[in-house]
Amino acid sequence: MTKKRFAYIRVSSKEQNEDRQVETMRKEGIDSRDIFIEKMSGKNFDRPKYQLLKQLVREGDEIVFDSITRMGRSMKETLKEYEWFAENGILLKFIKEPMINTSNEQDDIIKQAIQRVILTVLAAFAEKERIDREISQAEGIEAARAKGKHLGRPKAVITAEFEQAYKLWINKEISGVKAMKMANMSKTTFYRKVKELKET
């Protein structure tokens, strides 16, 4: 019998949205506090939330993933992680690849072998997709450079109100609170704009 169920959600970058995966996990009946969300590459497993989840799970618990690609995109490392969970009695459920789900039952050696073959193929495809994407990105950057395009940080968008408030603030003519009010910005937004302005 499964003791506790967790979910692990991963997207590759901060720009990507995890909402679809979150909704999937809620339909699985997993409590929000037991859903671990990470916005990092799947190239390796040095991810804070993933490592925390590994420390929390105990024998008999289950971790649900949307797909094997959400677990990781390195074939060798993904296989190693999968085996670690299996050896420690932690169940794994992959919604899109149920054929590699683990169970409490003692599967026969043939079924285990077939499962590992399928897992290896899926993990290999996941790694290939990552490598292909990295190559495409590198080629895109080189093509843009060849055309003379600027690839650095985009210039900060500065409003007239912010510019005036910034000048008065930097010259110590007004306080930071007054500058934020003049620029009609929250503290976080104001200081982010200051940082962007200094980096351009």
pLDDT more than 90, % of the chain: 48
Domain layout of the chain by residue ranges: 5-125, 160-199
Q: 5-125 adopts what CATH topology?
A: Rossmann fold (3.40.50)
Compute the average pLDDT of residues 125-140: 78
The pLDDT of residue 153: 54
| CA–CA gap between residue 168 and residue 34 (Å, rounded) | 48
Q: Point out the least confidently predicted range of 34-43, 53-62, 150-159, 165-174.
A: 150-159
Q: What is the pTM of this model?
A: 0.64
Compute the average pLDDT of residues 106-133: 82
164 residue type, one letter: Q
| CA–CA gap between residue 90 and residue 3 (Å, rounded) | 10
How sure is the predictor about 3, in pLDDT bands with cuts at 50, 70 and 90? Answer: confident
The pLDDT of residue 195: 81
The pLDDT of residue 163: 84
| CA–CA gap between residue 96 and residue 4 (Å, rounded) | 21
Compute the average pLDDT of residues 126-139: 78
pLDDT digits (tens, 9 = 90+) for 150-167: 555 555 566 778 888 888
| CA–CA gap between residue 169 and residue 161 (Å, rounded) | 12
* Host H or E run for residue 39: strand 35-39
The pLDDT of residue 28: 95
The pLDDT of residue 188: 86
